[in-house]
Amino acid sequence: MSLAAAWRRLAYVAGGASAGFLASYRHDFKQLEFDVAALSGPALRFLDGETAHNVAIWAAAHGLLPKETRPDPPSLRTTVWDRDFPNPLGLAAGFDKSAEGPEALLNLGFGFVEIGSVTPLPQPGNAKPRVFRIEEEGAVINRYGFNNDGVDAVRQRLKTFRNRQDDPSTSTPAGLLGVNLGKNKATEDAAADYCIGVAKLARLADYLVINVSSPNTPGLRALQGRRELQSLVRRVKAERDALAWHGKPAPPLLIKIAPDLTAEDLGDIAAVALSEGVDGLVVSNTTLERPPGVAAHPAGAEAGGLSGAPLFERSTAVLGQLYRLTHGRLPLIGVGGVSTGEQAYRKIRAGASLVQLYTSLALSGPALVRRVKLELAACLARDGFKSVADAVGADHRRDAQGRRA
């Protein structure tokens, strides 16, 4: 379905709600603006998953998303890698693959947005259909396959974004920008592709992510093996460090891992991350597992990675394991199944310094962002934490106290 046809169908389905949605942009009634925007979520469900995604990206690229101007609770401000985040809630990679609308997405109220995965050359990804909603389970299966516009197109868009940020006459959001790097499907030397991404995009990123965990690129997850990962990290770090930074700090380098790993695999990843000076881990990508509720759905048999609510417990358990294995020395970004502030808080207590979501935004709409932040602030206050940093890894401190007792 073309974007034009999608908009016509949305107009038919949403009717007056769409008119109210557009009218709300002309006023400063922020809650009304987000509430009306939330009506677009149910309307988008009348489109197939990928078309709905494309409509959302088109809206972001053209500045048609609501803009959050209400301040965040002070307890949500946090500093990671000597970078100040207005809040710890980010948008995960995969939503804006080609950096078409990072400013608009930050304006939704995210503390940071991660674009990508970006490959050196443009590629179309896997054959369609490749996105399948399982709304009863709060889940999505996708097999996109790193479809994106390539590193050169993304570089130009990020330059434009950074120029706007540097221009005092423009009003740009305070959040940070991560760049998630992938490899082209046909590339045999994966490290070479990641190095191209670093060379062209590192100066435009607040942090970089090596994505070695998508299940939709053949052979990619094999890069999580100890020797393979060690070799990859050394080459990519050398590429980053060889760039001229002119006194500025180089962007932190993170690895994004899968949830479908053995205890031995996790131990190897933690050991490589610590020994090679990796700056953090993103935990985790989508899963190949199919819990009973998903397996019973007609779309449950589709190939691809499962995201959303069914991933929460597994990804949070892996997060906690890696926090222990790295002795709390590496900042972790917790992602997988987050749709409430309580769930974001659980990720933080398990060891996450920052938290990301994606599927819940696609299913619920932009009002979710502020709701999660307010709920998270309430959780911190309830348990006596004055800041996000105070709560990071709290479950492990409690467990240690219990063992000593």
Known catalytic residues? 214
Reading the block at residue 371, the tokens are: 């709701």
Phi, psi dihedral angles at 256 (to 5 degrees): -100, 125
Reading the block at residue 129, the tokens are: 């259909």
Residue 98 near residue 115, CB atoms below 8 Å: yes
Phi, psi dihedral angles at 50 (to 5 degrees): -70, -40
Alpha-carbon span 255 to 230, nearest angstrom: 11
| 333 closest CA partner among 357, 314, 310 | 357
Classify burial at 136, counting beta carbons within 10 Å of its beta carbon; exposed 0-12, middle 13-18, buried 19 or more.
exposed
Alpha helices per DSSP H over 40-175: 40-44, 49-61, 102-106, 151-166
Alpha-carbon span 218 to 216, nearest angstrom: 6
327: left (phi over 0), alpha (psi -120 to 50) or beta: left
At 190 the three-state DSSP class reads helix
Alpha-carbon span 8 to 25, nearest angstrom: 20
Q: Where are the beta strands (DSSP E) in 42-104?
A: 78-80, 83-85, 89-91
Can you give the C-alpha Rg of the chain in angstroms? 20
| 229 closest CA partner among 269, 264, 263, 194 | 269
| 314 closest CA partner among 333, 281, 289 | 289
